Each structure stands twice: as C-alpha cells, then as structure tokens.
Structure 1
Amino acid sequence: MGIHSSYHQRKQDLIMLVLKGTRWAVLVAGSNGYENYRHQADVCHAYQLLRKGGLKDENIIVFMYDDIAFNVQNPRPGIIINRPQGEDVYEGVPKDYTGHNANVHNLYAVILANKTALTGGSGKVLDSGPEDHIFIYYTDHGGPGLMPYDDYVYANDLIDVLKKKHESNTFKSMVFYLEACESGSMFEGLLPEGLNIYATTAANAVENSFVTYCPDDYPHVAPEYDTCLGDLYSVSWMEDSDKHDLRTETLEQQYEVVRRRTSNEYPENGSHVMQYGNLRLRKKSLYDYLGTNPANENYTYMRHDSSTSISKPVSQHDADLLHFWHKFRKAPKGSEKKLEAQKQLIDELNQRLHIDHIMMFIAKLLFESENGLLMLETVRPAGQPLVDDWNCLKTLVRTYEEHCGSLSRYGMTYMRAIANMCNAGVKMEQMAMASAQACMGTTLIHAAPSTMN
C-alpha cells in the first residue's frame, strides 16, 4: 500500500511540473426556491468533484442561495443529492456568497478580483495569475441573451467582464460551462477567439435546456422527492468526470459525451450542446481545469463510453409546473397542503397566460397584427448576436417592467421578442406607450381549477 501510495505521489508530482500555475474555479447556482433544487445540487456536486480532483477550498468560489438543504420541503434535511440514490453533495461546500450576497455585482467583482466592489460574502475573489487555469460553471434558468441572477446577467456585460479579465493578464486559459435555456445566446456572435476562453453551453441560442431525475421517473427517483434532482447537461459532464482519469480525457472528448447524452439519446426531449470561443483549447486535458480523482487512475476515457441513464428529460421551463403538480397530487385530499399546492400551480399557469397575452398585445400595438406575431418569433441567422444595441434591450426591458411588473423567469422567454423590437428600431417612448396600454388595469387570465382533483 505504501509503495503504491508513494508511486502515485511521484506520478502526481511529475504531472504538476508539466502543469504550471494554479487551478481556480467559480461555481454559480443562480436560482432559489425548492422547485429549483437541481441548480444548487449541480453546484454542490461540482464542488465535490473539484475537491476530489485536488483543488483547494481557497481556489474554489461558490455562489448559491443556500435555501435548499434545510428547506422544510426537503425530505432529507441537511442533505442534497444530484442523482437518485446519490451521495450527499452538500457537506463541506463553502458558503462564500449566499442569500442576497449571491448576486451579479458580486459575481463580476469576484471574476475581476475587485475586492472593493464586493458587498458581503466571504471576500474570496478570483485572484489568479498569468499562468493559472480558470474553470467557471454557471447553472440557472435563462432566456435569450440573459440569465436571471438577482439583477439580470446580460450577455454583453458578461463578455465585457471576461474581456477585462483577459486584459488584466491574470489567466492562461479559461473554460466556461453554462447550463440554461437558450444558453448559446450568451456567447453566440459575442465571445472572441482571442480571449483564450473555451465555452460550452447546454443548449443553442434558440432552444430550451432540459432537466433530469424528475418525480415519477420510476425506479430512478425516490418517491419522497417531488422536484427534479439535476440538469441534463450538468449531470452529463459531472458523471463523466466522476468516473474517468481526467488526465486521459480532453475537453473535446467530454463535449462529445455530453452532446450525445443531451441530444442524440433524446431526439424529442434534448438540446444541442454548443462550443464557442477558442476551440483550439478543446484539445487540452480536463485535468488542467478539474484535476482528477486518484481513485480513477486506471479508468481512462473510451470513445463510446458515456454516463447514459434512461431517465426521461423534462424541459427546464416545465420543471416548476412539474414540481407544483406533484406536490398537489401527493397531498391528502381536502388538506391545506393540497389547497396550497393547487394555488401554486394555478398561479403559475395564470402568470404564464397573462404574460403571453401582454406580449402579444404589445407586439400588435407596435406593429401590424401579422407582423406583431412574427416579431415574437423571428430568429436571427446563426452566428449573429441576439441584438445590435444592448442598451436598447436593457432600456425596453426596464420600460416594460415599470408598467407591467417583473419579467419573471417565464417572461424571459420573450427576450428575443424585445430584442427584435430593438433591431426593428422601436424606441423607449413607443414601448412605454404600448406597455402602459397593455398592462393598465389588466387582470390575470385564469386557468380553471375545476379540472383538478
């Protein structure tokens, strides 16, 4: 045992001589609420993987709301799992930026190592040097061109932060894994090759990403859970990393494993994993960013090996509805829990119908009826960014919210429609007039509860 241990240590020491610099990681779960259990489970799993890979706590920065582990709805208090019958991934996870301190302003400050811009949190920042390797993993809901993290993470702002990080000469290379609906829109037409950043996304610029290990996925998910445990893209890259010697697997090879699992195996319920930035980096070893678990020393990557499960994916946009439906179905008939779950489900459906109605009305006011509906769905050619003028997009979103209230996670699906308005020359005054008319005195369109029992 001692001989094997010393041999392994010498082998690790030799590898470290080849890998100059330090590995850093920023892990971000952008959502909160028990219905979004999976996002924090993803991040906790990623943390455990990196620790087993040899990264130190001082080099791993974690953003998560931290309202899941001890949530009253969690059937296993203090424990978070990322797959059925999985091990606890919550234990030991650093509480760097939690609650309201897990926000976009602190995220940008952490990436840029700007300690003076931080508000709350542990104070840890990405204090990397010119020879260091950075891994950023972000999981959340999403919409075209943005992520809903406290205040919005707009694609152009994120790219500007990454450009500033590159200009500061504080990393050698960076890998960015992004899990969200329409996540490709955060990088498409925006991430230059010259930043030495390689990014992959759970979906292309126009489609939903998918969740997995969901309720009723028998026999895979324990019946006490009424929420999905993981996101398909996320568990795909992590379950692949969990079992391989990552010194023998490249970023490109993992991309292929994840792409197959999220698309080819689920032609009707899957998404297209995308690559952006400096694609030459995909030839690099995963070890450079994630380290590797010594227990996997003899488990090398094989081309057709994958972490396939037969769990049926669910659209990210439908995961909330699935959670509320299962809460309703499981609650005792006539109980307060059943009434509460029914209200949550109907309120969510009503809100979606309401937003659909408002957006269609605004589009019809701004354009002719036919053109208005077309404006909601038009997609720009592949390779182009979502919008030409990002300030216009932000202005129109703010204007809408001043008159109609928060866009909401579901409402973010209409970001492309608002971007199309900007691209068509719509001004703030026009949006204000249309939004005021659409939302003044409006009442929610109601989904009938009579069909539920």
Structure 2
Amino acid sequence: MKNMTYGVANILVILILMLVSSISSIHRSLPEDFLQAGHTNNWAVLVDTSRFWFNYRHVANVLSIYRSVKRLGIPDSQIILIIADDMACNPRNPRPATVFNNANQHINVYGDDVEVDYRGYEVTVENFVRLLTGRLPPGTPRSKQLLTDEGSNVLVYLTGHGGDGFLKFQDSEEVTSQELADAVEQMWQKRRYHEMFFMIDTCQGASLYEKFYSPNILAVASSLVGEDSLSHHVDPAIGVYIIDRYTYYALDFLERVEPDSTKTMGEFLSVCPKRACISTVGVRKDLFPRDPHKVPITDFFGSLRPVELTLSGLNVTAMSRTQNQSRREELKRKVSDRSLQYAKQFPTSKLGSS
C-alpha cells in the first residue's frame, strides 16, 4: 500500500513537470511583440479640484478638455470626469444648465452628453488616489473605476489651486507631489498603464511632477515653481473669469486636430509660449523614452479607429481560383485609384475664439 502511494506521488510529480515544460515551450515560441504588449487603448482622468462660483473657470477648463477627447474618439466609458462644483446649477449662473469657455458663448461645454463620474463632496484626495491605484471599495460602479491595463495610455488633466508641492481639493485638503508620485508608482507596479501624460493647469504646477520616478511618464504644467498660472478673459455677463490661459491655448490647438491628424505631442508641448501664457510652461520628459516629436497627439488625446468602406458589393459565393485572382486584381485597382478610402469618424468642428 505504501509503495502504491509513492508510485502515485511520482506520477503526479512527472505530470506536473511535463505541464511546466510544455508551458515554457509555448512561452518561448510566442513572438516577442506579443510578450511586450504596446499601446492598445486610451483612457482619460479629468479633474477639477476647486469649488465656489469664482472658480467657474476651472469647471470650464475640465469640461473643455472632456469635449475635446470625446470628439477625438475616447468614449465616455473610458473617461473619468471629476468635478468638485456644479457651475451649471449654481444659483448665480444667469444661464442655468450651461457652462461656457468663451465670452462669445460659442459652445456650451456642459451639453446633454456630459457624464460626470465624481461630483461635489465625492471629490476627495482619498477617492482620487483610490481611483488611480484601483483600490476601490467592493461594489463601486464600473463608471467610477479606472479599468486600465498594461496596454493603456492614460491622460491625466488636473486643474484647480496649487502651491509648491501640493494641489488643493475643495479648499479643505490637499494632495502632495510625493503622494501623487507614489500613487503613479503603484499603478506601474500593478501594470495599470503603458504610458501616462500629465497635463497640469495650476499655480506652481511644475512642482506636482517633480517627484515622479516611474517610467513612461510625460508631463506639462502651466507654470514653474514660484509662478502663478493666470486666467484668460472675463465674461461680463457672469462677472468672473471663464477659462485659464494655458487651457485656452491648448484647446485652440486641439480644435485643429482631427482623429487622423499627424500633429505630435512635441508640437502640443509648446502651445503656450511665455508671451501668451505670461507664466512659464514647464515640461518633464526625462522619464519618457520616446521623442515627443515622433508621438502622435492621438496617442493620448484620441482613439483612432479607421473604418474601411467599399463602394461595391462583395460576392461571397464559391469562386474558382481564376475568379479569385481576378477579384484580387480588381480590388488592387480600386485601392490604387483611391475609389476605396478611409472614412473619418467625426465631422469637422471648429471653436471660435474671443
């Protein structure tokens, strides 16, 4: 009986070794590009951290970026929109249910298709860090989760009031640059991103990216340490500034971008020179392995999914080898004379400026 037990154990050990060996051989036979997954999807985390009517511009900032990334193809299911105060419903708003980013009231950026994921008192440092790191309570709705993976390019846009090494949340708490850097490192260790782009429009915004130490991060800020980030213009009808300078010029650039655009992140990083922004725009790219001038802007702000349209029907009935060859030649001719083309996903839309 004892010998039989040993025999069964030996057989199990042999089977396990054979299984491990077969898995290893499969792993070795996989192509290298499969083992090193690249960029496969896009996500955006758009955050306004300030409250009160006089911070109207911060809500307009974040809603304007939200509108741009949606136009360029990132779906709502992959956008986390965080707004600390609801200016559209503020009793001081003379135009209820609207938010404008331009004194000419050209575009209501708070349209019917806006999906806010965190609002009001849900906008806390704890919720923000939990969102990034994936440490959310059980039962959290899918719309409140950042379901990224090792193939995700993530755009993080932050606007509000900041200082040297911190960003205020609702004038009651703050996230420090070290806390933000540690949260990003957790994301990297848990394979929650492929590349990240931080776009920070706050006073002394550059201080928020100084502590980053994780790979594949590109960052831009509207002001250096010791500098204020300034507003662009006032709407006399509501009596407050309605957009910040850096975001205004960034939007002016983004509105000329289409899903099939050849514009690059390198071009985007220089959208607001000092003569326009007054503050000095800061850029950090030492953690980013690629040349920003060779990175399409749609790698972060869009999600290009071209659709190929044919102008004629395709006969799917059985054909002879000669017929198949003839059909292939016909398709080649159509491609060469451009009768078979890619269709743009979205119509052209331009933003007027004041």
Query: What is the TM-score of this pair, normalised by structure 2?
Result: 0.70
> What residue number does 1:90 align with?
110
The alpha carbon displacement at 1:29 in A equals 0.3
Q: Contact 1:109/1:117 (CA < 8 Å) preserved in 2?
A: no
> Which position in structure 1 is the counterpart of 2:247?
234
SS in 1 for 2:98: coil
CA contact (8 A) 1:34 1:67 kept: no
* One-letter amino acid of the structure 2 residue matched with residue 161 of structure 1: A
Q: Deviations over 1:11-70 (max 9, x none)?
A: xxxxxxxx8411100000000111000101111111111111111111000110232111
Does the C-alpha gap of structure 1 residues 229 and 117 become closer, same or farther in structure 2, counting only changes over 3 Å?
A: farther
* Cα distance in 2 between the residues matched to 1:122 and 1:72: 31
Structure 1 stretches of at least 4 aligned residues deviating more than 4 Å after TM superposition: 120-123
Q: Which of 280, 288, 295 is the equivalent residue of 2:347?
A: 295
Displacement of 1:124: 1.7
Equivalent residues, number: 269
In structure 2, what is the equivalent of residue 253 of structure 1?
A: 267
Alpha-carbon distance between aligned partners in 1 of 2:133 and 2:79, rounded to the nearest angstrom: 15
Corresponding letter in the other structure for 1:256? S
- Superposed, 1:3-402 pairs within 5 Å as 20-85=39-104, 86-91=106-111, 92-116=113-137, 124-150=144-170, 151-188=173-210, 190-192=211-213, 194-214=214-234, 221=235, 223-245=236-258, 247-258=261-272, 260=273, 263-265=274-276, 270-277=278-285, 278-281=287-290, 282-283=292-293, 284-291=295-302, 294-296=346-348
> Using the alignment, how far apart are the partners of 1:308 and 1:90 within structure 2?
17
Q: Deviations over 1:190-231 (max 9, x none)?
A: 223x520100000011110111122xxxxxx4x312010101
| Matches of 1:133 and 1:60, distance apart in 2 | 12
Percent identity between the two aligned chains: 25
Deviation of 1:122 (Å): 7.0
CA distance in 2, matches of 1:228, 1:121: 35
> CA 1:121–1:181 in structure 2 vs 1: closer, same or farther (change >3 Å)?
farther
Cα distance 1:287–1:62, how it changes in 2: closer, same or farther (>3 A)?
Answer: same
User: Helix, strand or coil for the counterpart of 1:48?
Assistant: helix
Q: Distance in 2 between matches of 1:147 and 1:121?
A: 26
The higher-RCO structure (CA 8 Å, 6+ apart) is: 2
**Alpha-carbon contact 2:77-2:143 (below 8 Å) kept:** no
Unaligned runs of 5+ in 1: 1-18, 215-220, 300-306, 312-453
Higher strand share: 2
Q: Deviations over 1:387-412 (max 9, x none)?
A: xxxxxxxxxxxxxxxxxxxxxxxxxx
RMSD (Å) for aligned C-alpha atoms: 2.5
Write the distance in 2 (CA, Å) between the matches of 1:197 and 1:203. 18
Q: Deviations over 1:99-145 (max 9, x none)?
A: 11011111111111222289x88752211111111000010011111
Alpha-carbon distance in structure 2 between the residues aligned to 1:105 and 1:23: 24
Distance 1:121 1:66, change over 3 A: farther
- Using structure 1 for the length normalisation, give the TM-score: 0.56
Q: Judge conservation of contact 2:39–2:194 (CA < 8 Å) in 1.
A: no
Q: Counterpart of 2:266 in structure 1: which amino acid?
A: E
Question: Which residue identity does 1:72 align to in structure 2?
Answer: P
- Contact map agreement 1:96 1:121 (CA 8 A) in 2: no
Query: 1:125 corresponds to which letter in structure 2?
Result: Q
Amino acid in the other structure paired with 2:151: E
SS in structure 2 opposite 1:176? strand
Note if contact 1:213-1:230 (Cα within 8 Å) is conserved in structure 2: yes
The structure-2 alpha-carbon separation of the partners of 1:109 and 1:123, relative to structure 1 and needing over 3 Å to count, comes to farther
2:19 aligned residue: none
Conserved 8 A contact 1:115-1:123: no
3-state SS, counterpart of residue 240 of structure 2 = coil
Greater share of helix: 1
Q: Is the 8 A contact 2:150 2:193 kept in 1?
A: yes
The aligned counterpart of 1:431 is: none
Counterpart of 2:252, as a letter, is E
Deviation sequence 1:247-285 (CA, Å, 0-9, x none): 311111011122x2xx1236xxx1111111434442311
Corresponding residue number in structure 2 for 1:13: none
1:323-381 C-alpha deviation (Å, 9 max, x unpaired): xxxxxxxxxxxxxxxxxxxxxxxxxxxxxxxxxxxxxxxxxxxxxxxxxxxxxxxxxxx
Shift of 1:236: 1.4
